[in-house]
Amino acid sequence: MSLASVVVLVVLILLAGYAVVLYNGLVRLKHGVSKAWANIDVLLRQRHEELPKLVETCKQYMQHERTTLERVVAARQAVSSAREQGDVSAVGRAESGLRAGLGQLFALAENYPELKANDSFQHLQQRISGLENGIADRRELYNEAVNLNNVRIEQFPDVLLARAFAFKPAALLEFSEAEKADVNLASLFN
């Protein structure tokens, strides 16, 4: 075997090794996105289970606020449906509606001193608020994992392997601008 053949063989082995390292990195990022989504999904499921209890507790006190309660129930179903379909964009849109409904519900509870004093309501409000904070934290981690994945599958030379093995970009979990804006409490009491 000539020296040129050995050099070519070594270069091919190094290129193959490099391709394996790139491929494994892409796989790790893809699974990181899935893991981050699974962490959000756990909290969404927990909140999904807590919301009917909150609505039922509120129904006992808030007879005149039926539309707000119905809006929360409908938004809960929209989030659940989008989550079950794995549609991250739809989850973001549905989450915006649910969070707005919960904001209204908690603001309206201020008008019902008996409800605010109810231990069950207080516990559920704290539990749901804690889950909301957890979702926000995990959303940040999920979006970071998505960003890393999406950048890597577009960078050279990773893009060559990403296209060859059909790696796809993942969707960010985004909430509407209305969701991020401050709540106008005065409008909730009119």
Identify the residue with better confidence: 146 or 181. Answer: 146
CA 4, CA 16: separation in Å to the nearest integer? 18
Identify the residue with better confidence: 2 or 65. Answer: 2
Least confident among 50-54, 83-87, 112-116: 112-116
Q: Which tens digits make up the pLDDT trace of 24-43?
A: 999 999 999 999 999 998 98
Q: Are 159 and 43 in contact (CB under 8 A)?
A: no
Residues contacting 124, CB < 8 A, separation 6+: 50, 53, 54, 57
Q: What is the chain's mean pLDDT, rounded?
A: 85
Residues contacting 154, CB < 8 A, separation 6+: 162, 169
Residues contacting 87, CB < 8 A, separation 6+: none
Identify the residue with better confidence: 64 or 177. Answer: 64
Least confident among 6-20, 138-152, 170-184: 170-184
Q: How is 34-58 classified by DSSP, letter by letter? A: HHHHHHHHHHHHHHHHHHHHHHHHH
Closest to 18 measured CA to CA, from 157, 164, 136: 157
pLDDT band at 179 (very low <50, low <70, confident <90, very high): very low
Q: Are 165 and 23 in contact (CB under 8 A)?
A: yes
Least confident among 19-28, 59-68, 92-101: 59-68
pLDDT at res. 158: 93
**pTM listed for this prediction:** 0.71
Domain covering 3-188: architecture = Up-down Bundle (1.20)
pLDDT at res. 155: 93
pLDDT at res. 64: 67
pLDDT band at 190 (very low <50, low <70, confident <90, very high): very low
Identify the residue with better confidence: 20 or 107. Answer: 20
What is each CA distance from 4 to 8, 10, 66, in whole angstroms?
6, 10, 82
Which one of 71-85, 91-105, 146-160 scores highest in mean pLDDT? 146-160
Can you give the residue ranges of every domain in the chain? 3-188
